Chains A and B, each alone.
Chain A
Amino acid sequence: MTAMTSSELAANRRDIRPGRIIIWTLLVIGGLIMITPLLFMFSTSLKTAGQVYDLRLIPASPTFANYVKVLGDGRFMQWFFNSTFIAVTVTLSNVFFDSLVGYTLAKFEFRGRYFIFLAILSTLMIPTEMLVIPWYLMSSQLGWIDSYWGIMFPGMMTAFGTFLMKQFFEGVPNDFLEAARVDGLNEFTIWWKIAMPMVVPAISALAIFTFLGNWTAFFWPLIVTTSKELYTLPVGISSFSAESSIQWELIMTGAAIGTIPTLVVFLLLQRYIVRGVMLAGLKG
């Protein structure tokens, strides 16, 4: 570490202050504490039942036996598929509809525009928890209980996404759209082919947020699913863990299976994800 800091010295003279080194060290220690639960989760998922009581972080003889066992009966595969399918579908729907509505509200002039905007925005004030009972009632009347559609329908469009996209479409210069209009393109093509490519950072921010939100969603999927085949990964992990009672190595394996995909995606797309979160947080 000392050697590294001295190389930084050339770049920034202030870095040689001892205070800086202490702060850097504290930040790294804090960061390691942050991932300790994840490290222990992975470590224990590689231990046998007998080694669980050995609290060392590095397993004495790491084994993938737990993964073979947990994945073996196919339940986790099914839940993994359900979660992925649901999160991808809902994300695509949000990218399409939230952008379309945001674009319309930002770039079209018509009577009632402001009213529609306020009406959509006001739904941000309504908590999901208040809607679940009516949704449940609606789902049981329409036969949506225990179906993919039943899990997905409440999130197909969101006010947050619409608002975010509207903000960004307002920054698209009208000249481009007018030029396309003169060229005889129809409005749908102008939106899809001209305007959409100009707000790609916003689209990716929206996609990341929607995907993550649906991938980790627990409350509504817990309510609307009754058969295990339709569980999402979080609901599956929860029920699997409750069943496994005190077999902590299996519980940690289940939790790890639920965590690995997002961690891998993050490591691959770190820059975009952090930027997307910043964009969504600041504009949203």
Chain B
Amino acid sequence: MASATAKQGAGSTRFWDRLNMSTKRVIWAWTFLALPILFYAAIRFYPTFTAFWLSLTDWDLLRPANFIGFANYQKMFADPVFWKVFQNTFLYLLVGTPVSLIISFVIAYYLDRVRFMHGFIRALYFLPFLTTAAAMGWVWRWFYQPLPIGVINGFLSTIGMEQQPFLRSTLQALPSILVPAIWAGLGFQIIIFMAGIRAIPSTFYEAAKIDGLGDWAILRKITVPLLKPTTVFLVVFSSIGFLRIFDQVYNMTSNDPGGPLNATKPIVLMIYQTAFSSYQMGYAAAQTVVLFTILLVVSLLQLYVLREKK
């Protein structure tokens, strides 16, 4: 980075000295930005265009790519597995986001008022956020095992309830994977909600108390509306997370990824398999374009809907 001075060199020191202050600063600015601009161009923008281009080819790693128009997209939209995957992805999103936000808001709301052992309780909720999804996938997978191994089935049998198949059932597998995904994200959402709640000026609460509002009315009329920016951020952030779910699914169903019978397969896992198990790179690129479009639409939609009511 010190190259700016070096570049001017010994001979051209006079040239550098003759420049006025603001010209020098512009040169500094572009020197600082040179490497980053190169990085963003080569590692972000160029690959984005490559992905769009590849999605229109039949590239398979072995032979050179041929342009085939929208054939990959036609193939995808005609594939029942894709629609199953599409449905799963939205199930993760539509269940995961509201459930995790409601739980984390309730916990944050009450935890914020607790002073006794506050830090300790907060740490309990926050710890899972620091874990590795790949490792925790295996812990939860063990939890869901049938007797005599599985912890949850062990607990169910102790209290006299029926055994559940969990990951082995096409109906229960997806919710079973969603639980650890929600679990791991709660700590982050609670912390952000608490920060948001604390940022609300206490004058609002004092005024409300003078007006004789009860806890419930204060919650509805002050806390929730004033938390809108925090909520918008968390809704978008967690939606993107659920739409891109992969680590948990891959690790919890690794003997039949996305199984049983594709019941848990999200779009990112489908992309991974298409690209790196069957090497249909062009087809996989088309799937990533679809993911990109979904993420774009969902975030713009949420920003629009949640901003409107303000």
Contacts and interface: CB of A to CB of B under 8 A. Distances in A.
Interface in B44-70: 44-48, 50-51, 54
Contacts of A15: 115-116
B122 A34 contact: no
Interface stretch (B74-82, B125-133, B162-170, B201-209): B125-133
A47 B154 CA distance: 17
Contacts of A104: 29, 32-33
B1 interface: yes
B134 A237 contact: yes
Interface centre among B43, B140, B275 (most CB of A within 10 A): B43
Given A137-B50, A242-B254, A281-B195, A237 B107 contact: no
B148 interface: yes
A135 B284 CA distance: 13
Given A32-B124, A34-B128, A125 B295 contact: yes
Given A38-B127, A100-B36, A281 B132 contact: no
A115 to B, nearest CB: 11
Interface string A169-208: 0000000000001000011100100000000000000000
A47 B119 CA distance: 31
B132 A234 contact: yes
Contacts of A156: 39, 43
A219 B51 contact: no
A102 to B, nearest CB: 10
Q: How large is the interface on A (under 10, 10 to 19, 20 to 34, 35 or more residues)?
A: 35 or more
A138 B47 contact: yes
Contacts of B20: none
Interface residues of B, number: 100
Contact of B183 (A4, A11, A32, A37): A37
Interface in B205-226: none
A37 B155 CA distance: 13
Contacts of A108: 25-26, 28-29, 32
Contacts of B183: 34, 37
A154 B46 CA distance: 13
Contacts of B83: none
B278 interface: no
B134 A278 contact: no
A233 interface: yes
B143 interface: yes
Contacts of B21: 181
A60 interface: no
B136 interface: yes
Nearest to B230: A282
Given A137-B50, A263-B127, A31 B121 contact: yes
Contacts of A219: 246-247, 268, 272
A165 interface: no
B95 to A, nearest CB: 19
Contacts of B188: 277, 281
Chain A interface, DSSP helix/strand/loop, else mixed: helix
A213 B43 CA distance: 18
Interface in A207-235: 212, 215-216, 218-219, 222-223, 233-235
Contacts of A266: 123, 126-127, 130
B247 A218 contact: yes
A241 B251 contact: yes
Contacts of B131: 38, 216, 259, 262
Given A127-B292, A248-B142, A157 B5 contact: no
A223 B4 CA distance: 38
B244 interface: yes
A71 interface: no
B111 interface: yes
Contacts of B126: 266, 274
Contact of B139 (A23, A130, A252): A252
Contact of A126 (B25, B44, B122): B44
B91 interface: no
A114 interface: no
Contacts of B122: 274
Interface in A110-164: 110, 113, 116, 119-120, 123, 125-138, 153-154, 156-157
Nearest to B22: A109
Contact of A237 (B1, B135, B194): B135
Contact of A119 (B40, B47, B130): B40
Given A157-B39, A238-B137, A238-B250, 15 more contacts: A26-B110, A31-B121, A31-B124, A53-B149, A100-B32, A123-B45, A125-B299, A129-B288, A133-B284, A134-B51, A187-B4, A219-B272, A255-B135, A278-B191, A278-B194
17 contacts: A30-B107, A34-B125, A34-B187, A37-B140, A97-B39, A100-B36, A101-B33, A104-B33, A116-B37, A130-B288, A133-B281, A154-B43, A234-B134, A238-B134, A255-B139, A270-B123, A281-B192
